Structure 1
């Protein structure tokens, strides 16, 4: 992260930022976030992220931030920080409120933008462990990027402690859902498939772009079918990572398909 952030309309040093101890995002996880890729000093898919954020706000009955305000905030932060390539995270909470679960009648959201430089590292194949945590595709909250991220945090921590790189979460019926911070794509029966939202997959922005481009289709994949999967990738707004294995299932590489995915998402064949 750089030494600057944007908080409620003002760019200031991180060391000077102050968020109320009564903020509902801090106390209750009452809020949403978006992580966006920065390329050559701007966020090329900002509007797509804002549309998803607005949909999440509708689900949470949270007043959505003004798009023009966020666009200006992103420009101001990137200009002030000098960031060229990396990421911006947008965090929106319901703001401060009284003790208890119900928010105040008059909601004043807290809006924050932070940014970080790209690492420059090329992500190698990752080994996934199957997590004991599950995704509930029936819940409206499975389709928003909520600040309630503890199941994913625990899944990743436990996977790393067990010697894996990341965790793969299933739904309650044993179907693949997603990794701790990414959607999953699988080469199965000669086509690239991704779990449907009903199986607990988050509606990721990169996932949506690949569906729109016809490079993948939605299809339920039981864990028992992993033996038929030829290759797999984790995909997020920031990266595409090949998967080396899922538990005891060892996967191969489909280089031509991977190149097509990368070129569609990032305009280049390699990261």
Structure 2
């Protein structure tokens, strides 16, 4: 199927001109976005995604997003996309702006809102490589899901060059941080740990749900303390004394079976976490 595009109250074809060349999201990456998985024509965890969209928009300094308009766009593209839709993308930018990084005054701003639906190819396992670049946990946009994705484009291109599907990054002080489009979990000593938000990682929706559901089900999954997960814990994964798992909106909960091109084993807690997530996902599509 092709991508279905909605903006400003109507549908557009994928090749139809839509965004002006001076949109601030295009010129300087002044925008935020969300990606949701779609199951049976419904966007998974949409309410949580919209809550994070608002948080990212306000954190970036954009105005209050019109979430009613977002929901209208979501309903329209899902209805138009049919049964093959697997992914929903919501993008909000600062709209028309100067060619530099400064914005127009608030009363002159008009946000651009795009909602797209298209296919997705989820996978039950992940293949990961380490890369030399780092996340800046002290960045002005740390923890915000912005459209400024050039760093991720470069890192995931390197992953694909090496035959993997994700790259995993440290932060500036040598802590494990995240993947380019996923959160990381390390299984060691019988429990599954994910880096804290202070590491600079994104507050992933799948990560959030897995932490909540694991507490409810008695599964040993928790957020690590600051500094508890160093990047060199991946050496233990490579040696087979620890295990790695990634989470994200399209990959869901995905044990790692390859690190830097070498096979590694999924851990038992990781596999149980994957089963738990799939089970709870079927219980409620907007948890």
Q: Is 1:224 aligned with 2:232?
A: yes
Displacement of 1:113: 0.7
User: Please, what is the CA RMSD of the aligned residues?
Assistant: 2.2
Q: Is 1:244 aligned with 2:239?
A: no
- Alignment correspondent of 2:272: 256
Q: Is 1:115 aligned with 2:117?
A: yes
Alignment check: 8 A CA contact 1:73 1:113 kept: yes
**Residue correspondence of structure 1 range 71-86 to structure 2 within 5 A:** 71-83=71-83, 85-86=85-86
- Alignment correspondent of 2:161: 161
C-alpha distance in 2 between matches for 1:211 and 1:201:
15
Normalised TM-score (structure 2): 0.85
Displacement of 1:170: 0.4
C-alpha distance in 2 between matches for 1:152 and 1:184:
15
Instruction: Point out which structure has higher relative CO (alpha carbons under 8 A, 6+ apart).
Output: 2
Alignment check: 8 A CA contact 1:7 1:17 kept: no
C-alpha distance in 2 between matches for 1:176 and 1:185:
10
Alignment check: 8 A CA contact 1:39 1:84 kept: no
- Alignment correspondent of 2:200: 200
Q: Deviations over 1:41-67 (max 9, x none)?
A: 121311111100111111111013211
- Alignment correspondent of 1:51: 51
Displacement of 1:28: 0.3
Change over 3 Å in CA distance of 1:196–1:181 after alignment to 2: same
**Residue correspondence of structure 1 range 74-153 to structure 2 within 5 A:** 74-83=74-83, 85-105=85-105, 106-119=108-121, 122-126=123-127, 128-153=128-153
C-alpha distance in 1 between matches for 2:262 and 2:14:
44
- Alignment correspondent of 1:41: 41
Unpaired segments of 5 or more residues in structure 1? none
- Secondary structure at 1:15 match in 2: coil
Alignment check: 8 A CA contact 1:245 1:251 kept: yes
Change over 3 Å in CA distance of 1:142–1:83 after alignment to 2: farther
Unpaired segments of 5 or more residues in structure 2? none
Displacement of 1:124: 3.5
Change over 3 Å in CA distance of 1:256–1:4 after alignment to 2: closer
Alignment check: 8 A CA contact 2:91 2:113 kept: yes
C-alpha distance in 2 between matches for 1:27 and 1:125:
33
